[in-house]
Amino acid sequence: MDRELQWPSESVIAFTSFLRESGFQIGVQESADFLRVLGLQPLHTIDEVQRLWQPIACQSKRDVHAWSDLFLRFWVPHRVKGSSKVSGQVKQSRSLQQRIEQSRSHGSQSATPPPSSVTAQTPSSDGDHHGNQSDPASSPRSMGGASQVDALHDREAQQWMPSDLATLEHLARRVQRNLPTTPTRRWQTSLYGSKLDGRRTLRKSAALLGESLIPCWRARRREPVELVILADVSRSMEAHAALALRTARAFHRIMGARIFVFHVRLMEITDLMKRDTPAVQERINAVTAGFQSGTRIAQSLRTLHSLKPNLSLGRRTRLWIFSDGYDTDGPDDLPAALRELTRKGVKVDWFYPTRERPASSACKNARPLVQNWLAAGNFPSLRASLQSTLL
């Protein structure tokens, strides 16, 4: 390979898609960087390209370990030893929440091993004969190889790509344009105002020596909506907390929303939403792990109402609650907490992950106080709910 390498852009884009399917956080910008590196100077060996592309594609230690093998599998598969091929996703590192689940279920799994007849019926017994079946991370859903389970069957709830966040941000911009602004007590100069500004009119007339009268108008100054998002991260919402947090991140970037999470207590994570790094994601996972059982929605709302110096709740506030409605407080505590907020003019929207509206006694009593009950089990249902009410 002494001559200069000539790779078409279609192959580079296909390689980017291959890395994204293998668990890399990579998108269109990285593809453009790959092509830009090829155009800076002539490259004669594939090892040079591999060495220059690695800092662009790898964002974690796991990516660095998997980079060389994935690069050779795609560009020079004849140099890869063995006959196995990656047809699904590579094994991803377990998060803090997954490690907690594994440690809790390890004792029960070691004490009562599953029967051989049940194990033979699982898809992992046919797709992976050499993997450790007691490890949930080594199932065909997360390992490469043939599998009867669709690798993307639950991608909307557990696996996220940069393009998904861009889609949510586009939806947030549409919601921002359609949310009504609130008039304030202050006035501002406007060409199409409804009130005559006598002082400015006389000043303009004096500048023209009184020969003509040019009226100046004023209108009420309108302020945008202040969005506050509360995400339930209790044990019952474990499978749906990722969608709520990704949605909150998108609306924080576009509208500056304040983000809170709660289970037995309330905690603000707005500062964590400003950055998207593995370390910050681990901190969010620690917050949302739900170490204590139960969900105190009413108590969390009262705590939110008491944050007066740092959070102003009024007519311009829109409160979004992502929860399934299972509250360990009394059935009358949630309506009372919502009534304190609605008296100040706060409009409450409730996003539920179930097929039907929450059927708990607390939610039934609080239905008249919630403006919109919106389904948000996955991204299509969330987008449909926002389009039917806010867009």
Does the pLDDT of residue 241 top 60, yes or no?
yes
- Average pLDDT value for residue range 111-129: 41
What is the residue whose two structure tokens read 């509206």?
Answer: 357
Q: Highest mean pLDDT: which of 69-73, 181-185, 189-193, 298-302?
A: 298-302
- Reported as a pLDDT band with limits 50, 70 and 90, residue 352 is very high
Print the SS3 string covering the chain: CCCCCCCCHHHHHHHHHHHHHCCCCCCHHHHHHHHHHHHHCCCCCHHHHHHHHHHHHCCCHHHHHHHHHHHHHHHCHHHCCCCCCCCCCCCCCCCHHHHHHHHHHHHHHHHCCCCHHHHHHCHHHHHCCCCCCCCHHHCCCCCCCCCCCCCCCCHHHHCCCHHHHHHHHHHHHHHHHHCCCEEEEEEEECCCCCEECHHHHHHHHHHCCCCCCCCCEEEEEEECCEEEEEEECCHHHCCCHHHHHHHHHHHHHHHCCEEEEECCCEEECCHHHHCCCHHHHHHHHHHCCCCCCCCCHHHHHHHHHCCCCCCCCCCCEEEEEECCCCCCCCCCHHHHHHHHHHHCCCEEEEEECCCCCCCCHHHHHHHHHCCEEEECCCHHHHHHHHHHHCC
133 or 229, higher pLDDT: 229
Indicate the pLDDT class of residue 163, thresholds 50, 70 and 90: low
CA atoms within 13 A on the CB side of 67: 20
Residue with the bigger pLDDT between 44 and 160: it is 44
Q: Is a pLDDT exceeding 60 seen at residue 7?
A: yes
Higher pLDDT, residue 76 or 374 = 374
Q: Mean pLDDT throughout 270-283?
A: 71
**pLDDT higher than threshold 50 for residue 291:** no
Task: Please check the confidence at residue 83 and state whether its pLDDT lies above 60.
Answer: no
> What is the band of 159 on the pLDDT scale with cuts at 50, 70, 90?
low
261 within 8 A of 288, measured Cβ to Cβ: yes
Average pLDDT over residues 285-299: 69
Please tell me the predicted confidence (pLDDT) of residue 214.
84
Q: Does pLDDT of 191 surpass 80?
A: yes
User: Can you tell me the distance from the alpha carbon of 298 to that of 331, in angstroms, rounded to the nearest whole number?
Assistant: 9
Q: Give CA–CA dist 13/34, Å, rounded.
A: 9
CB atoms within 10 A of CB 28: 12
Query: What is the sign, positive or negative, of the torsion defined by CA atoms of 325, 328, 332, 334?
Result: negative
* Portion of the chain with pLDDT greater than 70, in percent: 71
* Mean pLDDT confidence for 75-89: 58
Burial 255-269 (b: 16+ CB within 10 A, else e): bebbbbbbbeebeeb
pLDDT bin (cut points 50, 70, 90) of residue 192 is: confident
pLDDT tens profile 193-238: 888 988 888 888 888 877 778 889 999 888 899 999 999 988 888 7
Task: Return mean pLDDT, the chain.
Answer: 77
Residue with the larger pLDDT of the pair 372 and 212: 372
Question: Which pLDDT value is given to residue 48?
Answer: 86
Give the whole-angstrom CA distance, residue 156 versus residue 383: 13
Quote the CA–CA distance of 382 and 376 in Å, as a whole number: 4
The pLDDT assigned to 146 comes to 35
Average pLDDT over residues 378-387: 90
Which one, of 340, 348, 267, 349, lies nearest residue 300 by Cα? 267
3-state SS string for 202-269: HHHHHHCCCCCCCCCEEEEEEECCEEEEEEECCHHHCCCHHHHHHHHHHHHHHHCCEEEEECCCEEEC
Predicted TM-score (pTM) of the model is: 0.56
Q: Is the pLDDT of residue 156 over 50?
A: no
Which has the higher per-residue pLDDT, 268 or 289?
268
Q: Tell the residue number behind the tokens 């004023």, with chain if given.
A: 218
Torsion of CA 76, 77, 79, 81, to 10 degrees: 160
Burial readout 303-337 (b: 16 or more C-beta within 10 A, e: otherwise): bbbeeeeeeebeebbbbbbbbbbbbbbeeebbbbb
Sheet holding 195-196, edge to edge: 182-189, 217-223, 195-196
Q: Is pLDDT above 70 for 1?
A: no
Residue 258 confidence (pLDDT): 94
Would you say residue 124 has pLDDT above 60? no
pLDDT above 90 (res 96): no
- Greater confidence, 73 or 161? 73
Q: Residue 276 above 70 pLDDT?
A: no
pLDDT at 370: 96
Q: 245-258 pLDDT, tens per residue?
A: 889 999 999 999 99
* pLDDT digits 0-9 by tens, 26-60: 877 888 888 888 888 777 788 888 898 888 889 88
Maximum CA pair distance of the chain? 101
pLDDT in tens, 317-340: 999 999 999 888 899 999 999 999
Token digits of residue 259: 């983000």
